[in-house]
């Protein structure tokens, strides 16, 4: 399974600047190809980067979402899943299965990426939370980041 983490920004921030920070965090070179479809800006695939990254800001946004995503007809009765919260924008990192570098696997990489983005957001007093898509849990700020290393293969 690929390792995917989402960071939800709960205060206003310029999605272009947040995306530029995400691109910097994955160590992408200046010539990196990106695209903006009018609702999401992303790195283009197949460039040999350690992660894809994209920022969703919504076709009519930002804000991307003014209320949390509700339970829907696909949910089990008594669904305990925490659907996506209201947010200004969301930033996503996604790394393919089997990734490895000098520090560890994809989970360790994502711990580094989310920590880096979080510290940058903290410095601007932007509130944030994040999801570990490995187990679906939502966390406030730096809570639970160590658990990402458990996703290393």
Residues in the site for Zn ion, rule: CB under 5 A?
A: 71, 75, 79, 81
Nearer to Zn ion, 38 or 77 (CB): 77
Q: Tell which residue, 95, 91, 117, 96, has the closest CA to residue 6.
A: 91
3 state SS of 3: strand
* Contact predicate 91/55, CB 8 Å: yes
- How near is the Cβ of 73 to Zn ion at its closest, in Å? 10
Q: How far is the CB of 135 from Zn ion (least distance, A)?
A: 16
State the residue for tokens 């399974």: 1
Nearer to Zn ion, 75 or 146 (CB): 75
- CB of 81: closest distance to Zn ion in angstroms? 5
Q: Which residue, 27 or 68, is less far from Zn ion as judged by CB?
A: 68
Token pair 């490895």 in the structure block, residue: 100
């Amino acid at each position: 399974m690929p390792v995917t983490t989402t960071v939800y920004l709960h205060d206003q921030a310029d999605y272009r600047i947040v995306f530029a920070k995400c691109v910097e965090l994955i160590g992408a070179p200046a010539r990196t190809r990106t695209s903006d479809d009018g609702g999401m800006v992303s790195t283009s695939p197949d460039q040999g980067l350690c992660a894809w990254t994209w920022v969703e800001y919504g076709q009519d946004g930002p804000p991307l979402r003014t209320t949390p995503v509700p339970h829907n007809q696909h949910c089990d009765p008594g669904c305990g899943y925490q659907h996506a919260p209201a947010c200004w924008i969301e930033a996503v990192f996604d790394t393919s299965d089997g990734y490895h570098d000098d520090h560890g696997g994809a989970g360790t990489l994502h711990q580094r990426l989310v920590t880096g983005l979080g510290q940058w957001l903290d410095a601007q007093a932007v509130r944030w939370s994040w999801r570990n898509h490995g187990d679906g849990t939502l966390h406030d700020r730096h809570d639970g980041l160590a658990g990402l290393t458990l996703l290393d293969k």
